[in-house]
């Protein structure tokens, strides 16, 4: 029995199944993502959704979780085995063509709760329908949200968009075929073909491709993939060092809608530096996936990069796996991307149902809302996701989940087939390795439920591009429906933008600190400055703590020198730069 990795937005776990489609397998994530490391195909993943619960003032005084649940949509969880079996059968969802099952019987919603939620679900269904028709979903940017069109171009609101989708898919497939066949090759590699992919992107431009690579790439793909998904210098250096001489046969895919995302830009600059130091021409090995006429697109066009593929303004990063963002890296690894699209399209059709019981995404959203004591206020509810694989959890945090603070629910992702036909064997009479994993999943589910810990189980028959595409589509739709229930916009991210703005302000302050220290360092004699003096000369006395942190970081990297005191005693510090930069002084 195999299994997928954590859900909701992040990295993967899972190995491919060699069952005729060439090379396949998955691992999961949802809106917030948690990734576990790759395991072999008989692994089961427990994705645990920890919850920021909304608690009204009159309830917040009690620590009794069962009281809280009862006060919202609950009641005691059913424990009678016969009644539970009937509940399991009554609420089991099956998609026969996809081989997918959804078990929500271990979430304690009542029939009354479902009835009370019905009007809100009808509103959510209507919102999803309008979304697919091209309604503006991101008001700040005036953008539609059209990731559903990517797997069925006929749904696009106009002929121009439909043609864009079809042409991009054809271009991705042709480019991947040409690279794998050696028709497109690097100029300086002894192998005379590309052997590695280095994907540079962050957030939705990295999480989806990482997940699919871990889930579906064959053991020996035509091109192996690595990711630079952060601005961490040590991580960047590690990835480049691991490539070694194969840098000459590495296809670098740079993914950024605007082309100005700082982390992606930094990764690109670091990789370009490595190419220069190795005497390689980056443009001959670079591919851009970005919005037309963005800074990145224009750079790639002017410099003559190998290829450019579009990111559409109506596809958000978190739902971009079925665009060139996810399809190009997958195709280059030999993954059947058209089958992924078929699976996603089939699930889209299933999740358009306005009958709650027949809509797996709606069932997930119902469970999330119920298990998180849904209050429906934008500031009072949310889901954080983390996870691990299979029985690993038995030796990690299951004890915490069963006996610790009850502020979560669990999602099990189960793959029913353990190994390809003919490859299984018995460790002992009647018991295979996959049987142990199956036992761990069922035992963990039962042990948690016995202590009132709720869970959802998503099962797929086997891991294929089609089932992975379906799972991605299932969670995309579930997030949209759940967002409607709790009155938030799933396709807008003001919090992310606020964080980016704050980071920019820190860097702007750092430039002012550098200017002040440089001016003092150019004096004769050099004038070491206290933190208070730096803050005063930056005209930012209210930012003295941040100035301290900036100087601490600079000193640790030999970009500032401590003349007196130590960082452990901030008031004792006097600092200056190691040298005077006259160009900066008179700039």
Average pLDDT value for residue range 29-54: 36
pLDDT at 585: 59
Do the domain assignments include residue 398?
A: yes
pLDDT at 34: 32
Whether residue 235 is found in the same domain as residue 315:
yes
Q: Which two tokens stand for residue 102?
A: 């959804």
CA angle 444, 449, 452 (to 5 degrees): 140
pLDDT at 225: 98
DSSP string, 401-470: HHHS---EEEEEEEES--SSTT---EEETTEEHHHHHHHHHHHHHHHHHHTT--EEEEEESS--HHHHHH
Average pLDDT value for residue range 126-142: 88
Whether residue 456 is found in the same domain as residue 527:
no
Q: Which two tokens stand for residue 401?
A: 């989940």
The 10s digit of each residue's pLDDT in 371-423 is: 887 654 444 566 777 777 777 766 777 888 888 888 889 999 999 999 999 99
Q: What is the CATH number of the domain that holds 510?
A: 1.10.10.10
Q: What is the CATH number of the domain that holds 114?
A: 3.40.50.10490
The 10s digit of each residue's pLDDT in 194-214 is: 999 999 999 999 999 999 999
Find the distance separating the first CA and the last CA of the chain, reported in whole Å: 65
Structure pTM? 0.85
Whether residue 181 is found in the same domain as residue 256:
yes
Taking a C-beta distance cutoff of 8 angstroms, is the pair 410, 49 a contact?
yes
Cα separation, 25 vs 11, whole angstroms: 14
Average pLDDT value for residue range 469-478: 98
Whether residue 211 is found in the same domain as residue 124:
no
Whether residue 459 is predicted with pLDDT greater than 50 in this model: the reply is: yes
Whether residue 482 is found in the same domain as residue 507:
no
pLDDT at 23: 32
CA distances from 199 to 125, 253, 264 (A): 36, 5, 10
Paired residues of 415 in beta bridges: 2, 460
Whether residue 536 is found in the same domain as residue 454:
no
Q: In what order do the strands lie in the sheet with 408-415?
A: 93-95, 100-103, 455-460, 408-415, 45-52, 382-389
CA distances from 116 to 39, 269, 366, 395, 456 (A): 42, 54, 11, 40, 21
Instruction: Provide the pLDDT confidence category of residue 86 given band limits of 50, 70 and 90.
Output: very high
pLDDT at 582: 78
Taking a C-beta distance cutoff of 8 angstroms, is the pair 10, 33 a contact?
yes
Whether residue 268 is found in the same domain as residue 315:
yes
pLDDT at 21: 31
Whether residue 201 is found in the same domain as residue 162:
yes
Cα separation, 2 vs 15, whole angstroms: 9
| Position with higher pLDDT, 73 vs 528 | 528
Whether residue 153 is found in the same domain as residue 296:
yes
Q: Is 169 left (phi over 0), alpha (psi -120 to 50) or beta?
A: alpha
Q: Which residue has the tokens 């006259």?
A: 582
SS3 486: coil
Q: Which of 467-471, 499-503, 531-535 has the lowest mean pLDDT?
A: 499-503
The 10s digit of each residue's pLDDT in 331-385 is: 999 999 999 999 999 999 999 999 999 999 999 999 999 988 765 444 456 677 7
Angle between helices 159-181 and 324-332 (to 10 degrees): 20
Do the domain assignments include residue 234?
A: yes
Average pLDDT value for residue range 303-322: 95
Q: How many CB atoms lie within 10 A of CB 348?
A: 25
Do the domain assignments include residue 258?
A: yes
Do the domain assignments include residue 343?
A: no
SS3 135: coil
Q: Which residue has the tokens 């360092």?
A: 521
- Expressed as residue numbers, the domain containing 319 is 146-335
pLDDT at 381: 62
Taking a C-beta distance cutoff of 8 angstroms, is the pair 153, 168 a contact?
no
Whether residue 171 is found in the same domain as residue 283:
yes
Whether residue 318 is found in the same domain as residue 399:
no
Whether residue 542 is predicted with pLDDT greater than 50 in this model: the reply is: yes
Task: Give the pairing type, strands 307-310 and 286-290.
Answer: parallel
The 10s digit of each residue's pLDDT in 253-294 is: 999 998 888 999 999 999 999 999 999 999 999 999 999 999
Do the domain assignments include residue 102?
A: yes
The 10s digit of each residue's pLDDT in 61-85 is: 334 434 334 434 556 899 999 999 9
Whether residue 180 is predicted with pLDDT greater than 90 in this model: the reply is: yes
Whether residue 188 is found in the same domain as residue 128:
no
Q: Which two tokens stand for residue 25?
A: 């397998």
Do the domain assignments include residue 31?
A: no
Q: Which of 174-188, 364-378, 466-480 has the lowest mean pLDDT?
A: 364-378
Number of domains in the chain: 3
Instruction: Provide the pLDDT confidence category of residue 38 given band limits of 50, 70 and 90.
Output: very low
pLDDT at 586: 55
Looking at every residue in the chain, the average pLDDT score rounds to: 86
pLDDT at 587: 52
Q: Which residue has the tokens 């579009």?
A: 310
Do the domain assignments include residue 48?
A: no
pLDDT at 494: 72
């Amino acid at each position: 029995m195999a299994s997928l990795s954590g859900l909701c937005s992040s990295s993967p776990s899972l190995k491919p199944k060699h069952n005729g489609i060439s090379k396949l397998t998955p691992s999961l994530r949802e809106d917030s993502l948690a990734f576990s490391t790759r395991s072999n195909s008989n692994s089961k993943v427990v994705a645990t959704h920890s919850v920021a619960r909304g608690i009204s003032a009159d309830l917040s005084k009690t620590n009794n979780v069962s009281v809280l649940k009862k006060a919202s949509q609950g009641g005691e969880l059913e424990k009678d085995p016969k009644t539970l079996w009937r509940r399991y059968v009554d609420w089991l969802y099956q998609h026969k063509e996809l081989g997918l099952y959804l078990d929500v019987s271990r979430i304690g919603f009542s029939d009354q709760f479902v009835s009370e939620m019905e009007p809100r679900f009808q509103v959510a269904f209507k919102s999803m329908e309008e979304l697919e028709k091209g309604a503006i979903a991101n008001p700040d940017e005036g953008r539609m949200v059209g990731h559903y069109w990517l797997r069925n171009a006929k749904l696009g609101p106009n002929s121009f968009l439909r043609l864009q989708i079809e042409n991009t898919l054809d271009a991705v497939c042709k480019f991947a075929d040409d690279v794998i066949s050696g028709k497109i090759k690097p100029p300086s590699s002894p192998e005379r073909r590309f052997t590695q992919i280095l994907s540079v992107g962050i957030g939705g431009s990295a999480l989806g491709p990482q997940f699919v690579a871990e889930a579906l790439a064959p053991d020996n793909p035509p091109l192996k993939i690595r990711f630079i998904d952060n601005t961490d210098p040590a991580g960047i250096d590690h990835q480049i060092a691991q490539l070694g001489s194969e840098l000459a046969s590495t296809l670098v895919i740079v993914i950024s809608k605007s082309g100005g995302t700082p982390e992606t830009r930094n990764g690109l600059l670091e990789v370009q530096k490595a190419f220069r130091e190795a005497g390689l021409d980056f443009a001959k090995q670079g591919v851009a996936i970005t919005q037309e006429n963005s800074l990145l697109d224009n750079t790639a066009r002017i410099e003559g990069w190998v290829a450019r593929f579009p990111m559409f303004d109506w596809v958000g990063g978190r739902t971009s796996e079925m665009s060139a963002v996810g399809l190009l890296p997958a195709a280059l690894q030999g993954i059947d991307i058209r089958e992924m699209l078929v699976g996603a399209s089939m699930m889209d059709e299933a999740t358009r149902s306005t009958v709650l019981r027949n809509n797996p995404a709606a069932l997930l959203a119902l469970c999330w809302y119920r298990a998180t004591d849904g209050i429906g206020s934008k500031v009072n509810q949310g889901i954080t996701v983390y996870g691990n694989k299979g029985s690993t959890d038995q030796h990690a945090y299951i004890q915490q989940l069963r006996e610790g603070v009850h502020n979560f629910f669990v999602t099990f992702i189960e793959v029913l087939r353990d190994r390809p036909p003919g490859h299984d064997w018995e460790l002992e009479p009647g018991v295979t390795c996959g049987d142990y994993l199956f036992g761990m999943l069922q035992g963990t589910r039962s042990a948690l439920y016995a202590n009132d810990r709720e869970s959802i189980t998503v099962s797929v028959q086997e891991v294929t591009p089609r089932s992975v595409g379906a799972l991605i589509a299932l969670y995309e739709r579930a997030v949209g429906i759940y967002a409607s229930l709790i009155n938030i916009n799933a396709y807008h991210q003001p919090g992310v933008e606020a964080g980016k703005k704050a980071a920019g302000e820190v860097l702007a302050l750092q430039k002012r600190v550098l200017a002040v220290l440089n001016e003092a360092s150019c004096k004769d004699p050099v004038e070491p400055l206290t933190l208070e003096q730096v803050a005063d000369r930056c005209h930012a006395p209210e930012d003295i703590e941040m100035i301290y942190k900036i100087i601490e970081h600079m000193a640790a990297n030999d970009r500032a020198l401590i003349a007196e005191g130590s960082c452990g005693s901030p008031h004792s510090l006097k600092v200056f730069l190691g040298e005077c930069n006259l160009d900066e002084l008179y700039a």
